[in-house]
Structure formats: structure tokens, C-alpha cells
């Protein structure tokens, strides 16, 4: 079963655009590099200071393996001084997905 990963960042004031750009670049690059990543969305709310990535992976094991990838470690190092607290990571089963292309 496909696995959805939500990775939410609480951005420090004044850094929303910077974090959104860094997150978008990471998501784009990681989608290109990781064949088990099916799709990814980066969404945000500047008023709340939240930037969230939502990735769909082939399996739960594929989603969990992200934690050991160097590109993910580099991303975390890059955003660490720009966010408040720790990122929030949630794993969910993908039940249904629809989209128009």
C-alpha cells in the first residue's frame, strides 16, 4: 500500500518565503532522485507560518528510508535555523487519490 508522509515546518517570523523556496527545491530534487517517491506537494500558510510537504511513496518502508538519505539530512540542516521547534512528521496510509492532468 502507498504511504503518505506529511512533514510540517513552523517557520520563524520573516522566513516564510525562504523556507518555502528551500522546501520546494528539496522536494523537486528528491522527486527526481528517488524512484519510490510517486508525487509530492509543498503547501503553506504564510499567516500561520507553516510550510508542509506531502509526499506519496510506494510503501511505508520507502517513506521511512527518507530519514537515512543524505539529501534529507542536508535539507534539515539548511532549514534548522529558520524554523521554530522540531519538524512534525506523520505517516499515513494512502486510501484514495484522484487528480486531473
Instruction: For residue range 36-88, list pLDDT tens digits in order.
Output: 999 999 999 999 999 999 999 999 999 999 999 999 999 999 999 999 999 99
**Global pTM exceeds 0.85:** yes
Does residue 1 surpass a pLDDT of 90? no
Could you give the dihedral angle defined by the CA atoms of residues 85, 72, 25 and 40, in that order, rounded to the nearest 10 degrees?
A: -90
Phi and psi angles of residue 56, each rounded to the nearest 5 degrees, phi first = -110, 120
From the list 31, 33, 37, 35, the residue with the least C-alpha distance to 2 is: 37
Reported confidence tier of residue 99, pLDDT bands at 50, 70, 90: confident
Residue 42: which H helix or E strand, with range?
strand 37-45
Residue 53 grid coordinates:
510537504
Which domains, from first to last, does the chain contain?
3-93 (3.30.70.100)
C-alpha span between 19 and 64 (Å, rounded)? 23
Amino acid at each position: 500500500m502507498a504511504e503518505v508522509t506529511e512533514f510540517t515546518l513552523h517557520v520563524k517570523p520573516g522566513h516564510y518565503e525562504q523556507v518555502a523556496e528551500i522546501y520546494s527545491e528539496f522536494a523537486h530534487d528528491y522527486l527526481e532522485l528517488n524512484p519510490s517517491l510517486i508525487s509530492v506537494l509543498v503547501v503553506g500558510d504564510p499567516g500561520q507560518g507553516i510550510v508542509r510537504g506531502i509526499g506519496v511513496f510506494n510503501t511505508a518502508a520507502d517513506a521511512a528510508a527518507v530519514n537515512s538519505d543524505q539529501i534529507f539530512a542536508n535539507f534539515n540542516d539548511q532549514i534548522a535555523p529558520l524554523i521554530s521547534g522540531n519538524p512534525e512528521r506523520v505517516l499515513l496510509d494512502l486510501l484514495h487519490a484522484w487528480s486531473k492532468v
